[in-house]
């Protein structure tokens, strides 16, 4: 995959320094903030999420952005959406909720858990969907972006915003979507 950097050190469980930047996406306020320690470093307004809002449990094709705590798993600097910062979705918590709700079977649940246990990206082609991330607009319509949530489940910023955000993003960066 040209232009994609996959985090080989993902999910190491190593404690982060308090000053490491982390991202907070507020799905109701439509904001993304870059935080370091106890202060906001940068705030981006007017972000878009999934066309059908956000949910703790999502399924492939439902147009919802998953809520939870994630890490940046890969960076695609040749994305159709300008830049793409992929998340380690589904997480252990998403898989457990989906299994209890009978959205995924035991085999899928175990595949997700095994990937996480082995510090690999969870399967991206299950009933829970995949390829969730933070990206720019690319060829998407800026007017639609400004007025509505439009993604398939990702968090979208303008191309100018995603370029600015890139200064704080690297594989392993914590992302909280609430």
* SS3 annotation, 23-44: EEEECCCCEEEEEECCEEEEEE
What's the sign of the alpha-carbon dihedral 122, 128, 131, 135? negative
What pLDDT score was predicted for residue 39?
94
What's the pLDDT at 2?
45
Q: Give the model's pLDDT for residue 38.
A: 84
pTM value is 0.88
What is the reported pLDDT for 138?
Answer: 94
Question: How far is 140 from 79, CA to CA, in rounded Å?
Answer: 12
Domain ranges of the chain: 4-177
Determine contact, residues 32/47, Cβ cutoff 8 Å. yes
Residue 71, SS3 per DSSP: strand
Please list the ranges in the chain whose pLDDT falls under 50: 1-2, 5-16
The CA distance from 31 to 178, in Å, is 11
Neighbouring C-beta atoms of residue 89, cutoff 10 Å: 26
Pick the CATH number of 4-177 from 2.40.440.10, 1.10.10.60, 1.10.260.30, 1.10.1240.10: 2.40.440.10
Q: Provide CB contacts within 8 A for 164, sequence distance 6+.
A: 42, 44
Say if CB 50 and CB 41 are below 8 A apart: no
């Amino acid at each position: 995959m040209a232009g994609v950097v996959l985090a080989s050190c993902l999910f190491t469980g190593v404690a982060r320094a308090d000053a490491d930047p982390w991202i907070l996406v507020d799905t109701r306020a439509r904001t993304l903030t870059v935080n370091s320690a106890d202060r906001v470093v940068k705030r981006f307004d007017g972000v878009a999420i999934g066309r059908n809002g956000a949910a703790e449990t999502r399924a492939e094709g439902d147009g919802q952005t998953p809520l939870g705590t994630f890490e940046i798993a890969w960076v695609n600097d040749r994305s159709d959406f300008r830049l793409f910062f992929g998340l380690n979705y589904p997480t252990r918590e998403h898989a457990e909720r989906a299994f209890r709700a009978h959205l995924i079977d035991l085999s899928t649940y175990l595949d997700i858990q095994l990937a996480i246990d082995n510090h690999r990206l969870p399967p991206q082609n299950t009933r829970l969907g995949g390829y969730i991330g933070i990206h720019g607009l690319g060829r998407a319509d800026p007017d639609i972006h400004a007025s509505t949530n439009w993604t398939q489940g990702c968090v979208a910023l303008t191309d100018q915003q995603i370029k600015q955000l890139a200064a704080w993003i690297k594989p392993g960066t914590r992302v909280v979507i609430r």
